[in-house]
Amino acid sequence: MEPTTAMPDLIDQLRGCGITPTKQRITIADVLFQKKQHVSADQLLEIVRREDATVSRATVYNTLNLFLNKKLIKALIIDKSKVVYDTNTSIHHHIYNVETGELTDVSPEDLGLSELPQLPSGFEVEGTDVVIRVRRTHST
């Protein structure tokens, strides 16, 4: 892979967000947005290193935080010490298979969560996190 010469779209996108497109950041962005999925920092580090073995754990964390600040990704807290990063930044929710760890997106409409409770006036909703934990019904 030749990150600096290849995938100019990705580079432009980063630049457009005011992010200096370094080799590691491009590789990380490539993995994140290519394999559009929910990844933990550790999984991300592992995958990224398959493409560029020189990327450090610190850089992965720094880059994730950078992308978070720039709203390129969302952090998703699934469980105590189980954080995954989501490249889908539109409003949506999640179904979490507690047995397999599999995560599925749910659109707000499918949730019937159109109506929020009336908040005390003077407050605004910053975001709503919904995680539906499911498991396979065991016919045991």
Partner DNA sequence: TTGGGTGCAAACTATTTGCATTCGA
Partner DNA sequence: TCGAATGCAAATAGTTTGCACCCAA
From candidates 46, 61, 69, 79, binder to DNA by CB under 7 A = 61
Contact 84, 103 (CB under 8 A): yes
Closest to 94 in 3D by CA, of 70, 77, 82: 77
Nearer to DNA, 41 or 131 (CB): 41
Token duo for residue 9: 């779209």
Contacts (CB under 7 A) with DNA, residues 78-107: 80-81, 83
Residue 43 found at the interface with DNA (CB under 7 A): no
Rounded CA separation 47/31 (Å)? 7
Q: Give the shortest CB-123-to-DNA separation in angstroms.
A: 26
Contact 25, 63 (CB under 8 A): yes
From candidates 13, 37, 51, 62, binder to DNA by CB under 7 A = 62
Which positions lie near DNA, rule CB under 7 A?
4, 15, 19-25, 40-42, 54-59, 61-65, 80-81, 83
